[in-house]
Amino acid sequence: MSVEANKLVVRRYFGELLNNGNLQVATKIFNRNFIYHDTGASEAITGIENFKLFVSQFRTAFPDVHFTPEEEIAESDRVMGRFSFQGTHKGLFKGIQPTGKEIRLNGVKIFHCKDGKIKDIWVYLDMFNLMHQLGALPPPPPKK
C-alpha cells in the first residue's frame, strides 16, 4: 500500500477508534494478527478483540478522552505519530479509583502497516507523569 494509505488508516485509528470510541472500525483498520506493544504495560495486547476491550476500558476510565495527532512522519510501511491527549479520570484505571482529575500527556506511537491495515503499534508514554497527575505517585524531586 502507499504511504498515503498508511497515513489514512492511522488517522482513522486516532479519530474513529480512540476519539469517537467506534470499536467496530477496529476490524477494518487492524490486521488479523494485530499486536499492541505498550512500554507502560507488562505484556503486549494481542488480537483485535483484546485491543477493543483495552480501548473500551480506557474510554471508561477517561470518557472524554481526546487524542490530537501533533506530527506525522511516514515512510514505506511505517508511520510515526507524536500525539497529545487529555481527559478526565472518571473510572477505574490500573487499579486507581476515579479522581476527577484532568490529565494531559504526550506520547509517540509507531505503526507498522501491511496490506492497508495496521499490523502492530509501539507506544511510548511517560507513565510516571500520568501516575503523578492522577496522584498515584509523588512529584519528582525539585531540580538543584
**Could you tell me the pLDDT band of residue 123, with boundaries at 50, 70 and 90?**
very high
Q: Does the structure show a pLDDT above 90 at 28?
A: yes
Q: Does the structure show a pLDDT above 90 at 92?
A: yes
pLDDT of residue 89: 98
Q: Does the structure show a pLDDT above 80 at 22?
A: yes
Q: Does the structure show a pLDDT above 80 at 1?
A: no
The per-residue pLDDT for range 40-83, each reduced to its tens digit, is 788 999 999 999 999 999 999 999 999 999 999 999 999 999 99
Among 28-32, 53-57, 106-110, 128-132, the range scoring the smallest mean pLDDT is 128-132
Q: Does the structure show a pLDDT above 90 at 124?
A: yes
pLDDT of residue 144: 81
Gap between the Cα atoms of 20 and 31, Å rounded: 20
Provide the residue type at 90 as one letter: K
Q: Could you give phi then psi for residue 42, rounded to 5 degrees?
A: -75, -25
pLDDT of residue 79: 98
**pTM for the model:** 0.91
Strand boundaries in the chain, DSSP class E: 30-38, 45-46, 66-75, 78-88, 102-114, 117-125
Domains by residue range for the chain, with CATH? 3-133 (3.10.450.50)
- 121 Cβ partners below 8 Å, 6+ apart? 35, 36, 37, 109, 110, 111, 112
